[in-house]
Amino acid sequence: MNAKNRLVVISAPSGAGKTSLCAKLLANIPNLVLSISSTTRAPRGTEKHGVEYEFLTREDFQAKIQAGRFAEWAEVHGNYYGTSKDTIGRAFQAGNSVLLDIDVQGAKLIRQAYPSESVLIFVQPPSIEELEKRLRGRGTESEENIQKRMKNARDELAEMDSFDHVIMNDEFERAAFELEAIVRQSMGVTYA
């Protein structure tokens, strides 16, 4: 079977372990590339422009919205985040599927814009307490940001039923295996 171009959308509250799951997925599945989003958030730690995000000023981000260059965009934790139409177009043209690590609002917008290509997956943390522990353990966020992210997490968890798949990340290896199986099946890619 030929691989199908898919938009694999993964959403999860901050601290649910989504980044590690995405990294493993990208390493294991050929023809799946990560979409680098644009954001107005300031770079954290060693983050670099063009690697983790395209870091933009609010003015530049707004100009990009006006020019219709986003497939979706949303305000998350007080900053703008968006997926460029170009990123998706280029990947599809090269015969790749795209992994989108975006929030719940963005996931729904992608489904509306690309109903037959998108697969929506929600990564569920074992509990809200565990989530807060992981978020604090990172040591990168201020107390205000932690509170903002925890409120957002509760709002996002309330929406997980609208996703095509929900993966419980209580045990990393099992969750990663489950995720890979879902994505391979949606892309029509068998195990090597």
Question: Rule CB under 6 A: which residues touch ligand 5GP?
Answer: 14, 37, 41, 72, 74, 76, 81-83, 101-103, 105-106
Q: How far is the CB of 14 from ligand 5GP (least distance, A)?
A: 5
**Calpha distance 190→192 (Å, rounded):** 6
Angle at 24 between CA 18 and CA 26, to 5 degrees: 100
Which residue's CB is nearer to ligand 5GP, number 2 or number 115?
115
87 or 96, CB closer to ligand 5GP?
87
Shortest spacing between CB 157 and ligand 5GP, in angstroms: 13
From first CA to last CA, the distance across the chain in angstroms is 13
Cβ neighbours of residue 127 closer than 8 Å, sequence gap 6 or more:
none
Helix (H) or strand (E) run with residue 176 in it: helix 172-187
Q: How far is the CB of 116 from ligand 5GP (least distance, A)?
A: 20
Residue 183: partners with Cβ closer than 8 Å, 6 or more residues away:
6, 8, 25, 29, 32, 119, 121
Which of residues 96 and 103 has its CB atom nearest to ligand 5GP in the complex?
A: 103
Query: Residue 61 CB, nearest distance to ligand 5GP (Å)?
Result: 11
- Using Cβ positions, the residue closest to ligand 5GP within the complex turns out to be 106
